[in-house]
Amino acid sequence: MKKKEVAKNIEEINKQLYQLKSEIGYIRRERKMMLEEEREQITALIEMELEKVRQFVKESLREISEESAGQIYRLYSEGKKVGKKIDEIAMKKVENKAMSTVFNIEKQAERRLTQNVIKRVDEETSRMKDELKAAEHRAITDELTGAFNRRYFEPRLRMEFSIANRSGDNLSLLMIDIDNFKHFNDTYGHPAGDEVLAETSHRLNDCLRQEDMLGRYGGEEFVVLLPGIGREAARATAERLRKAIGEVPYYWQGNALYITISIGLSTYPENASESSELLKSADDALLVAKRTGKNRVVEA
């Protein structure tokens, strides 16, 4: 084939290629909404158009080697326009996948955040409840001995007295003082004195019923409220408390130390018509116990 004819054929091919590219561009614009479809379907449409190119190349360039025709075909099939089309489809799928992944990550993060917030709220609520409970406990108890403090004990005494007055039940009260505590404190020091106070409170409480109430009234004085207990049972309780303190030694720095207590006892209705009288009667009986030898129980 002459060079002029080849050149003419090539020019015709270029025209056909240009026209075909225009058609493909038209298809691309018209099929823009089809980007959501599967890649295989769109690729098939492109392959149909490329088949036209393949046939045209074969018909117009029969004298050109199959290798040269294949090169032209590959040059076109790998061209930017077609490649861009496929890339757009692939990119769309990647974007959709990415958006789906981001959405899932956001949902997981939101769910995890919600769970963490709920957990933190639960933990904070629990902590606040514990702190409130601890604060309430500190407000009504003596820090050193664990017994109820005077500020809490006195209203409880009035309440229990009112209950006993309405129901006709007995109510007994024990006023307790550690004998010679000042001398002990001066001899062994305040840390030893604090240890004796704490241990005394522990021993007293171990001898009481659940409904009984132990309070630290001040200094080395303790008070015990016994709801529903008359004089005889109150006397037995007082003796049990006295022995629990006096018959078992205390230990301080390896030394066995013996401590005794004096107890004043009063009972409603025999010794009082109101709560303040019940308390005063027990205190007066305690003074008598201290003056008459200590380490004893005296009834009002």
- Give the pLDDT confidence of 141-170 residue by residue, as tens digits: 999 999 999 999 999 999 999 999 999 999
For the ranges 34-38, 45-49, 149-153, the maximum mean pLDDT occurs at 149-153
Angle at 292 between CA 287 and CA 294, to 5 degrees: 75
Catalytic residue among 160, 195, 220, 299: 220
Distance between CA atoms of residues 199 and 295, nearest Å: 17
pLDDT, tens digit (0-9, with 9 covering 90-100), for 176-220: 999 999 999 999 999 999 999 999 999 999 999 999 999 999 999
pLDDT at 93 over 60: no
Is pTM beyond 0.85? Reply is no
Share of the chain above pLDDT 70, in %: 60
Residue 299, burial from CB neighbour count under 10 angstroms (0-12, 13-18, 19+): buried
Report whether pLDDT(57) > 70.
Answer: no
- Residue 33 to residue 23: CA distance in whole angstroms: 17
**What is the phi/psi pair of residue 205, to 5°?**
-65, -35
**pLDDT tens digits along 218-228:** 999 999 999 99
At 231-280, the pLDDT tens digits run: 999 999 999 999 999 999 999 988 899 999 999 999 999 999 999 999 99
Helices (H), 168-250: 181-188, 190-206, 231-246
The ranges assigned to domains in the chain are: 1-136, 150-299
Q: Would residue 67 show up in a list of annotated catalytic residues for this protein?
A: no
C-alpha 156, offset from chain centre: 35
At residue 61, does pLDDT exceed 90? no
Amino acid 126: pLDDT = 78
When the candidates are 3.30.70.270, 3.20.20.80, 1.10.275.10, 1.20.1250.20, the CATH number that belongs to 150-299 is 3.30.70.270
Q: CA 111, CA 233: separation in Å to the nearest integer?
A: 63
